[in-house]
Structure 1
C-alpha cells in the first residue's frame, strides 16, 4: 500500500487537511475569496452522489421546464464547478464571475470550507447525500475512467482508501456530517439520493418549493421525464461525452453508469461488508443521520 500512497501524492495535495487535486489547490485563494451573490444557488455533494442529476433538476426549475434551453450547452458550462481548475480546460471561478445572475454553483466542498461569502449572503444550498457503500462503488469506477487519477487498485483496496478518507474530498463521514449539522439552517435543503429514486415527484416538489417557486403538475412532469436516468445518459449535454477520452475515458466506464441504489451488493464481499459496517458505526457514532442502505 505504501507505493500506492506515494503515487497518490503525485496527484493529490491537502487543503485544510482534506485530500484534493493539486491543480485545485494551486489556485485555492481564488476559491476561498470567491464572492457569492445573494441569489446564488449552491448544489453541494460528496462526489458520486447524484450531483449531475440534481443539477439538471434545478436547472430545469430555473428554465421553467424548457428542455431546449437545458440542451443549449453542456452542464459544466451551465452550472460551473466552483473549485475545479485545470490549466487548459476548466476554471469554475472565472466562469461564475462572468455569468449573469441567478447563478447555479456546483461544489463538492464540505460545509466548513465552503467560501464564507455563501453563508454571509444567505445563499440557498441543496445538499444531496447518498449511502456510503454505493458512493464507494461509483467512485471506484469514476477513478478508473478519469485519466488524471492514479490506478485505484482492486475494489477492496479502493474501499480501504475510501474508509480512511484517502480519496479526493477526504472522509465521506466528515463530509456528510458537516452538512447534516447545517440541516436546520432555513437556507439549506438536505435531501437523499435514495428518496429521489423512491419518490421523485415528492422530492422534485420539495426542491421547487425550497427555491421559492410554484410546482405546477406540468413542470413536475417535464422535470421527471427530462431527468430520468436513461434520458440523461443519452443526452450529450449531461453525459460528459463531449470530453475527449484523454480526459474521461468512457470506454472504461460510462460517466452515467447505472444510477441505481444497492449496487454495492454486487461488489462488496461478505468480509468487506462486515468490516465496512463496523467502521461505519465507529465513524457515525453520535450522529443522528440515518441513511437508507436499501429502499
Structure 2
C-alpha cells in the first residue's frame, strides 16, 4: 500500500514538474494544468476530485471564480434548499457555521490520502447535497455534466474581482514570498495568470453553457444579485425546483433568508471573525467590503486602460458584459 501511494506521489510530482509555470500571487508558482493556472498544492485535489467524485441527480454545485461572491451565494443556496429543515432562523446552522463549512469545496475535499474517508462523508451527507467549486467547466468530473445535478455560477465584474483577489492574496500569502505590487498583479491578471484563471476563460465557459443548456447552468452576476436580491433568491429557488409558496412569500420567508445571508450579518457573526476554514484560510479574510465599484479607489488611469482593453478583447462578441460601478 505504502509503495503504491509512494508511486502515485512520484507520478504526481513528475506531472507537476512537466507543466508550464509562472510566478504566483500567494504561492511561489502557478502551474498551467488542464488549461488553467493552479498552485501545485491543489493539483492532487483536482485530480482526485475528477477521479472519485460521483454526482447524484439532485446535487447542487455552486461554481465561481475566486472572490466573485462565492460565500454569499453559498449561504443563500444552502438557506433556500434547507428552509424546511431549518424553519427557525434563531438556531440556523449559518449562525454557527461558516458557509464554506456547510457547502464544502470539492476542489479541496480530496487532498491527502483520506479519499475513502471523504467518500464515506459524501455518501452520508443529507440530500440534496450542496457543494462549491472554483474549477473551470471543462475540468469538472464527467459525472457532474452527465447527471441531472444543477450548477449555479456567480461572477463579478473583473475590476472588483481583481481588487478583492489582490487584497485577499496579500493577506493569506506566506511572509517568505516577495510582495506583488498592484501593478504587477494586474499585468499577471490580464495575462490570465491567477489561481483558476484565466478569468476570461472561466467565465465564458459557464456563460456559454448557461446559454446552451439553461436547465443545467444558472448564470448570476454579483452586481445583479446585489441590486435585486429578492428577485434572484426567488429565481434560484425556482431553478432548483423548490419555489417559494404564496404563504412563504406573504410570511416574509424570502426577506428572512436575505437578512440571514446578508454581508453585514455574516461579517458580524462571531463564527466568521476567528478560526480557519478550508486549507487554513482565516475566516476574517473572507469578508472585506462586498461593494460594487470599490476598484476605483485602487486603479490608476493606466491600469483602467489596461484592464478595459483586455476585457474588450477577451469578451468581445460573447454577449457577456459587466457594470463596473454602483
TM-score (norm 1): 0.88
Distance 1:192 1:214 in 2: 20
For residues 157 and 206 of structure 1, what CA distance do their matches in structure 2 show?
39
Whole-Å separation in 1 of the counterparts to 2:117 and 2:299: 35
1:73 aligned residue? 97
Of 53, 62, 65 in structure 1, the residue corresponding to residue 81 of structure 2 is 62
Q: Quick check: 1:147–1:248 contact (8 Å CA) kept in 2?
A: no
2:62 to 36, 43, 51: 43
Whether 2:231 is the aligned partner of 1:202: answer yes
Residue 155 of structure 2 corresponds to residue 155 of structure 1: no
C-alpha distance in 2 between matches for 1:277 and 1:7: 21
Aligned equivalents of 2:153, 2:216: Cα separation in 1: 11
Deviation at 1:21, TM superposition (A): 2.3
Q: CA deviation at 1:255?
A: 2.1
- Larger displacement relative to structure 2 (132-141 or 199-208): 199-208
Q: Distance in 2 between matches of 1:236 and 1:200?
A: 24
Q: Distance in 2 between matches of 1:105 and 1:92?
A: 17
> How far, CA to CA, are the matches of 1:256 and 1:265 in structure 2?
19
> What is the aligned partner in structure 2 of residue 269 from structure 1?
300
Distance 1:262 1:107, change over 3 A: same
Paired position in structure 2 for 1:190: 219
* Post-superposition offset of 1:140: 0.4
Structure 1 stretches of 4+ with a deviation exceeding 6 A read: 6-9, 88-92
Shift in CA distance, 254/146, structure 1 to aligned 2, threshold 3 Å: same
Contact 2:49 2:107 in 1 (8 A): yes
Asked if the contact 2:106/2:133 (under 8 Å) is kept, the reply is: yes
Cα deviation, residue 229, structure 1? 1.2
In structure 1, runs of 5+ residues without a counterpart are none
Q: Which residue of 1 aligns with 2:40?
A: 22
Match of 1:130 among 156, 165, 173: 156
- Pick which of 191-200 and 142-151 moved more: 142-151
Q: 1:266 to 1:9 in 2, by over 3 A?
A: closer
Gaps of 5+ in 2: 1-21
> Which residue is equivalent to 1:232?
266
Q: In 2, Cα distance between the equivalents of 1:289 and 1:144?
A: 29
Q: Between Structure 1 and Structure 2, how many residues are aligned?
A: 288
* 1:45/1:129 contact within 8 Å kept: yes
Contact kept in structure 1, 2:26 and 2:172, CA below 8 Å: no
Q: TM-score, normalised by structure 2?
A: 0.80
Structural RMSD (CA): 2.8
Cα deviation 1:181-231 (Å, max 9, x = unaligned):
011311211111001111111111111111112323222011111111110
Q: Could you say if the C-alpha distance between residues 155 and 77 of structure 1 is closer, same or farther in structure 2, counting changes exceeding 3 Å?
A: same
